[in-house]
Each structure stands twice: as C-alpha cells, then as structure tokens.
Amino acid sequence: MIKAILFDFDGTVADTAPDLGHALNRQRIARGLSPLPITLIRRYASAGSRGLLHLGFNLKPDDVTYEAMREEFLRFYAERLCHDTCLFPGIANVIDQLDIRNLPWGIVTNKPARFTRPLVQTLGLHQRAACIISGDETAHTKPHPEPLLTACRQMDISPQNCIYLGDDLRDVQASMAAGIKPIVARYGYLGNDAPPESWGADHLINHPEDLLNYI
C-alpha cells in the first residue's frame, strides 16, 4: 500500500535546465565558444555541474581546472537561480491531489541545499513538503540509498510503502537499494545512454499526472 511519494527534483518536479544551461553557456561565451542548445543541455541537466562541465568543456572531476570551473559554474547558477525554472506541467495538480488524499510527499535530490531550498521556496512548495533531502545533507548521495532512507525516517513511513519518481538511472538504483518502488519520469531529462525501459523500474510514466493513476 502506497503511503508516501518521494520525488527527485531536477527533471522530475522542476525544469531547471534553462537556468543551468544559462550558467554553462555564460562560461562558454566568456571563453569564445558558442552557446549550446537547450535541447542538448537537457540531457545532461540531471547530472548537475559534473555532467554539464563534461558536456561544455569535456572536463572530468580529476582534471586540474575542474574545481575552479565548477565553482564558477555554481556562482553563475546562483546569480540566476530561478529565472526560467518552473514546475513541469501537471506537477502542481499532482501535488494538490496528494494533499487532498492526505498522502505525504517529499523531495530527495543530489542538488546542494543552498540551491534546493531557495528553489523549493520560490516555487511555493517548501511548506507543503513533508521532507526535503538535499545532496549535501547525508553522507552519501544517490545512487546510494541513504538519502531515500533518511526521507522515509523523517516521514515515519516504511520504504516498502513509498514510491520514488525520478528521471535518472541513479534514481532507480537508489530506490531499489532502499526497498522503495521506483517509477521513471519519461518526461524528464533521461540523461543516461541506456533507454529508461532497461533501468529496472516498476513503472514508467509519460506525464506527471499519470502518477495519480498508478497510486
């Protein structure tokens, strides 16, 4: 029996790719490179700064210039955090319906809290979420199960009575490791090379409101 819903944030609840992409393209333009199209950036947005810096500059975390570029990217992103970011169509209604049904819901993301919490507040969700677990608030990030298990403890719900909706393979891996039912948001960024049908999720949905039929 489903007693709670957990959501990934980027690519699941909110379309953050335009503002993430703006930060990346600002870096590229400053170095004489042409901006990348948002259609390409969306595929890498769920991977955050690591994925976007690899896309934009072929940088990896062990490269000498990576940390400086990452700090610059995050600074640019913070300066324009919620300019074009918005909820995916249908998410607002899903959350309304969960509240009506008295089903608690929360957000579990790898995004650092200094970005997650202002965004959630600006989008009007902070007082409604039963929990918000950011990427730097537990010792491990997804695909480790700890963030999801922490959310379950905060909501006092058993993992087997939760579902987790996300748009990345790491979301499915974390769900399965935590004993939570994984659902894939096919409307999200889906940045992995393997098709989402191969990730091992219980269910895939094409629109946020399809979640209401599942539960």
For residue range 65-112, list pLDDT tens digits in order. 999 999 999 999 999 999 999 999 999 999 999 999 999 999 999 999
* Contact residues for 58 (Cβ-Cβ < 8 A; gap 6+): none
The pLDDT of residue 191: 82
Residue type, 192: N
The pLDDT of residue 192: 72
Are residues 54 and 124 in contact, defined by beta-carbon separation less than 8 angstroms? Answer: no
Q: Which residues of the chain have pLDDT under 50?
A: none
Q: Nearest-CA neighbor of 49 among 114, 106, 5, 120? A: 114
The catalytic position among 8, 15, 167, 168 is: 8
The pLDDT of residue 46: 87
CB-hemisphere CA count at 13 Å for 74?
15
Dihedral sign, Cα of residue 84, residue 47, residue 107, residue 94: positive
| Whether residue 10 lies in the annotated active site | yes
From the CA atom positions of the chain, what is the Rg in Å? 17
Length of the chain (residues): 215
- C-alpha 47/C-alpha 70 separation (Å) is 13
The catalytic position among 10, 15, 19, 167 is: 10
| Whether residue 167 lies in the annotated active site | no
